[in-house]
């Protein structure tokens, strides 16, 4: 971790010593600004039982600019686009652990895209689709 800002070193150490419940995050061996993240689908949500892989990258400007986060596991969510990018600016200025917790608890439905529109028009169908995608793409038994 030589050459990294002290804040990133401290946050990484804290994250490894005090993991966020429901989340595993490990810095990459070759680039300590890049994290491999696994998020358990929150209980009592359409994502319950799912295991979602994400990548998190801390840019040079961190913490003044938000980390780059992308879901690698396909997910049906109104705030996550087809490429897995989070569509709300909830990540700016927070520690890595707080960002991961925000992602884990994310339930906002304001983004204007086709998934959000489905959530507005027919919430029960959107929840069924989210559950189906979780089972199809994020279940441990599929691997």
Q: Is residue 1 part of a domain?
A: no
93 has pLDDT over 70: no
Question: What is the mean pLDDT of the segment spanning 102-123?
Answer: 66
Q: Catalytic one among 4, 26, 40, 87?
A: 87
Cα gap 23→12, rounded to integer Å: 14
Mean pLDDT of 106-113: 43
Query: For 53-63, how does the pLDDT look when each residue is reduced to its tens digit (9 = 90+)?
Result: 999 999 998 88
Task: Give 78-94 as a DSSP string.
Answer: TTB-TTSBB-S---TT-
Q: What percent of the chain has pLDDT over 70?
A: 84
Name the band, by pLDDT with cuts 50, 70 and 90, for residue 91.
Answer: low
In a domain, 88, yes or no: yes
In the residue annotation, 87 being an active-site residue is answered as yes
Q: Assess whether pLDDT exceeds 70 at residue 64.
A: yes
The CATH code of the domain that includes 126 is 3.10.110.10
Domain hosting 35: range is: 6-142
Distance from C-alpha of 45 to C-alpha of 40, rounded to nearest angstrom: 11
Instruction: Confirm if 27 and 96 have CB atoms less than 8 A apart.
Output: no
List of residues 6+ apart from 24 with CB closer than 8 A: 37, 38
Average pLDDT over residues 115-128: 86
The total number of structural domains in the chain stands at 1
Average pLDDT over every residue of 133-141: 84
123, part of any domain: yes
For the segment 6-41, what is each residue's pLDDT rounded down to a tens digit?
Answer: 999 999 999 899 988 888 999 999 999 999 999 988
**Residues 75-101: what's their mean pLDDT?**
79
């Amino acid at each position: 971790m030589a050459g990294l800002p002290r804040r990133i070193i401290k946050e990484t150490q804290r994250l490894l010593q005090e993991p966020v419940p429901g989340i595993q995050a490990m810095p990459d061996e070759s680039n300590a600004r890049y994290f491999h993240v696994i998020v358990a689908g929150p209980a009592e949500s359409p994502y319950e039982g799912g295991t979602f892989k994400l990548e998190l990258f801390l840019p040079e400007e961190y913490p003044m600019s938000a980390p780059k986060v992308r879901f690698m596991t396909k997910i049906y969510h109104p705030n996550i686009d087809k490429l897995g990018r989070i569509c709300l600016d909830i990540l700016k200025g927070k520690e890595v652990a707080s960002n991961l917790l925000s992602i884990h608890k994310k339930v906002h439905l304001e983004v204007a895209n086709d998934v959000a529109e489905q959530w507005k028009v027919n919430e029960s169908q959107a929840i069924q689709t989210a559950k189906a995608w979780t089972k199809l793409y994020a279940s441990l038994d599929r691997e």
